[in-house]
Structure formats: C-alpha cells, structure tokens
C-alpha cells in the first residue's frame, strides 16, 4: 500500500519545527505501508528561480519539497489568484514526480484542511484515489473564532463530506468540526504520536536543591499566556526560592517575554530561557523536570504534554481543547484558563509534594496511548478500511 501525505505544515529548510507531529504520524505508520510526502512551500526568498525541487533522499520518509517563488506585484487580489494557481500547479507537478519515483498512490492522506483537501478531492474525482484527513488545527474551536468565510466553509464541508475518513487528534476537535458543519460518517479520533524511545524517564535522577519546572511552547503569548506564567512565577518567588522554571522554545513574542522576565527580576534566577530545543536535547531537559506547566488560553492537544508523560513527568495545565481527554488526577492537574490564583496554588502544592505522582504510571499511559506502535496500528486500520470500502 502506498500512501501519499499532503501536509499543510512540515519541516522545511527555513524551519525544522512546523508539522513535526505530521512527520511522526508518517514514521509510525511506515512500519505497515509505504509513505511518501509532498510538501509545497511558497518561498519569498526565491528571486532568480521559479522553483526548486528538494528530493529529501536522506530522510526516513521519502519526501519531495517544492519551493516556488511567491508572486508579489502589489495588486493584492491578482497576486492572491496567481499564487493560488501556482500552489495547485506545483502540487500537480509534485504528485506526478511521486508517481514516477515511488509508484501510484493508493490513498492520499491530507494533514490540515482546506486547500490540500481540494487537491485530494480533485484527484479522487479524476483518478479514483480515495483520501483521508487528519486535522490538527484549532480554528474550528469556538474559543478562536477564525473559521473562514461562507465560501471557505462551504468548500471545506464538501472536502470533508467526500473523505473516506476524518481523523481529528482529539474528540473535542471532532465535536467542534461537526458543529462547524463538517459532516462525515467516519470520524476516527487518533492522537498525536510520541517517540517513546527518545522520550524516557530518567533512571538515575540526581538530587538537586531546586525543583525543576518546565514549559515548552511556540512563545505565542496570545495562545500560550506565557506572560501569565511569568506573573505567577514572580508571586511564587516572593514566597519560596526552591525552584527554577526552564522556558523552552521560540516564537513571535519571545523577545518581549524575555524582557518581561527581566523586568520582574526572574531571568536566570527563577526562569531560564533556552530558546529552541528539540529531539535529544529537549528529551534531556524534560527528564530532569519534576513537572510541566501549561497556561494556554486555547489548545488542541500539545505534543509536548504527551512527551512529558513519556518521560514520566506530570503536567499542570489549563482545561482547554482536548487536554482533559488525556489529563486525569494520575497524570496531573487541570485548572481554568486565566485563573492565576488557581495556577499559583497548584504549582505551590506540587512543589511541596513532588512525589505525589507515580512516574511509572505516567510513562505507561504514554506507551499505551501515543507510542509509534499504537498510533501506527490505528492509522493502518483506517487505511485498510479505506481500501476495502473503495
């Protein structure tokens, strides 16, 4: 079976982080079938070339990336139409290249609607190739209010209706999509995947005078409310000095949040900013943590929470999106968004009782729900049903 991934987000030469969770889905199910990836990127840096094809032959998943020059003439509507045409043009080119190099697709797997779904829908009509959809985006949630125009909604509903399966990563997202009119008779919730070989508990953790708290995010303060985290850390520092918060990641508000930490007298004393860390470096920092904190205003199901579980590390998080589906009292604590008093109290209590959670229980939950084996099997079952129903 050959499955072609069409992702909206995917690691690329300018940023290795977007869509890592999509790549991990592909790696998980690649144990059962052939998976190839086509990623198209509008490249504002291209000036002398129309497009560049990167075959990605050194990667674990066969991947073709096409970077095409983005048109910018100053005429907004005309530019939009021309760039939309180029987007579809290079998807057609990429699918042809994949067919020539890796063989005909049996299934197209769209990750994140809507434009990529239109391409899959067209291929189904023209070539009889069924498609499935995995959705990660929070735009369908009532808390975000960013779900497009009437035409966009209609187009998305048609793409959803004609898919063989829709696989949101949480039940919360599934319900939000249905409430947005995205009807389909085959919704299957399949979470994100975690590399449980890389993310493992620390076997011989060294004793430390200070307890370690970790926060990992994209440093978008509107979503992650990191400024709220810093205000709560400031309050804690006025009561106790036996902790340190490791702030991992980078993003649009990184610099101003570092400045806020400096103004509050926290930087390097109670909050250390590491910038972007990934793979083994990130796993190592997670292993050292006593617990993770998230104070988001809206979410779906952050992969970093699942990675934390794989390291046996409990989580204190706001009760937003699909987080409560995988956060019970054995795994951590839920609080309401924006409630800094409750957040302060839970962190303070957990610092007082760091051994209240069983790392083995938390680790087993990750293995049973998010491992490569579990998620790979779930995806492959959907693929098999898709082929049968065709």
Mean pLDDT of the chain: 95
pLDDT for residue 185 is more than 90: yes
- Phi and psi based region of residue 321 (left: phi greater than 0; alpha: psi -120 to 50; beta: remaining): left
pLDDT at 15 over 80: yes
Angle among Cα 297, 367, 8 to the nearest 5 degrees reads 50
Mean pLDDT along residues 147-172: 95
For the stretch 287-324, pLDDT in tens is: 999 999 999 999 999 999 999 999 999 999 999 999 99
Q: How many residues does the chain have?
A: 390
The pLDDT value recorded for residue 204 is: 75
Q: How confident is the model at residue 271, as a pLDDT?
A: 98
pLDDT for res 329: 96
pTM for the whole structure: 0.93
Per-residue confidence (pLDDT) for residue 203, from 0 to 100: 80
Each residue of 243-252: pLDDT tens digit? 999 999 999 9
Indicate if the pLDDT at residue 165 is higher than 90: yes
Does position 231 have pLDDT exceeding 80, yes or no? yes
Say which residues have a Cβ less than 8 Å from residue 153's Cβ, sequence separation at least 6: 147, 180, 181
Distance CA 207, CA 220 (A): 33
- What local confidence, expressed as pLDDT, does residue 146 receive? 83
Question: 135, 102, 90: which is closest to 3 by C-alpha?
Answer: 102
Q: CA 386 from chain center: how many Å? A: 25
Which regions of 183-280 does DSSP assign to beta strands (E)?
211-216, 243-248, 271-275
Level-2 CATH architecture, domain 211-369: 3-Layer(aba) Sandwich (3.40)
β-pairing, 51-54 vs 63-69, is antiparallel
- What confidence score (pLDDT) does residue 47 get? 83
Contacts 24+ apart (CB under 8 A), 376-381: 376/28, 376/29, 376/30, 376/31, 376/32, 376/193, 377/32, 378/188, 378/190, 379/25, 379/28, 379/29, 379/32, 379/167, 379/190, 380/29, 380/32, 380/33
2-193+371-389 and 211-369: same fold?
Answer: yes
CA atoms within 13 Å, Cβ hemisphere of 21:
22
Residue 243: what pLDDT?
97
CATH value of 2-193+371-389 in 3.40.50.2000, 1.10.8.80, 3.20.20.110, 3.40.50.300: 3.40.50.2000
Task: Compute the distance between CA of residue 340 and CA of residue 352 in angstroms, rounded to an integer.
Answer: 18
The residues spanned by each domain of the chain are 2-193+371-389, 211-369
DSSP 97-125: HHHHHH---SEEEEESSSHHHHHHHHHHH
Q: Is the pLDDT of residue 145 over 80?
A: no
Q: How confident is the model at residue 143 (pLDDT cuts 50, 70, 90)?
A: confident
Mean pLDDT, rounded, for 108-133: 97
The answer to whether the beta carbons of residues 19 and 40 sit under 8 Å apart is no
User: What distance in Å separates the CA atoms of residue 141 and residue 259, rounded to the nearest whole number?
Assistant: 31
- Provide mean pLDDT across the span 200-215: 86
CA distances from 58 to 55, 62, 99 (A): 9, 8, 19
């Amino acid at each position: 079976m050959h499955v072609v991934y069409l992702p909206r987000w995917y690691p690329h030469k300018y940023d290795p982080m977007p869509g890592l969770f999509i790549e991990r889905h592909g790696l998980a199910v690649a144990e059962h079938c052939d998976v190839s990836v086509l990623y198209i990127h509008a490249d504002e840096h291209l000036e002398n070339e129309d497009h560049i094809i990167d075959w990605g032959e050194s990667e674990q998943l066969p991947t073709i990336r096409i970077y095409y020059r983005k048109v910018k003439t100053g005429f907004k509507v005309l530019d939009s139409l021309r760039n939309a045409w180029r987007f579809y043009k290079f998807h057609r080119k990429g699918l042809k290249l994949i067919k020539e190099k890796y063989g005909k697709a049996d299934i197209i797997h769209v990750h994140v609607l809507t434009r990529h779904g239109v391409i899959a829908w067209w291929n189904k009509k023209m070539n009889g190739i069924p498609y499935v959809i995995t959705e990660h985006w929070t735009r369908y949630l009532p808390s975000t209010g960013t779900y497009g125009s009437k035409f966009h909604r209609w187009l998305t509903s048609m793409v959803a209706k004609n898919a063989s399966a829709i696989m949101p990563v949480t039940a919360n997202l599934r319900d939000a999509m249905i409430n947005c009119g995205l009807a389909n008779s085959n919704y299957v919730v399949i979470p994100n995947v975690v590399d449980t070989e890389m993310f493992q508990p620390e076997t011989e953790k060294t004793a430390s005078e200070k307890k370690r708290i970790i926060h990992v995010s994209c440093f978008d303060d509107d979503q992650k409310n990191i400024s709220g985290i810093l205000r709560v850390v400031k309050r804690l520092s006025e009561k106790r000095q036996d902790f340190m918060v490791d702030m991992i990641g980078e993003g649009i508000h990184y610099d101003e949040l570092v400045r806020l930490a400096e103004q509050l007298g926290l930087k390097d004393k109670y909050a250390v900013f590491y910038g972007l860390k990934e793979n083994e470096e990130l796993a190592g920092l997670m292993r050292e943590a006593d617990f993770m904190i998230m104070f988001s205003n809206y979410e779906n199901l952050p992969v970093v929470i699942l990675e934390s579980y794989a390291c046996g590390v409990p989580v204190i998080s706001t009760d937003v999106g699909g987080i409560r589906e995988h956060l019970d009292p054995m795994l951590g604590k839920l609080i309401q968004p924006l409630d800094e008093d409750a957040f302060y109290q839970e962190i303070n209590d957990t610092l007082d009782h760091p051994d209240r959670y069983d790392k083995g229980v938390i680790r087993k939950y990750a293995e049973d729900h998010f491992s490569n084996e579990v998620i790979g099997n779930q995806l492959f079952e959907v693929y098999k049903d898709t082929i049968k129903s065709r």
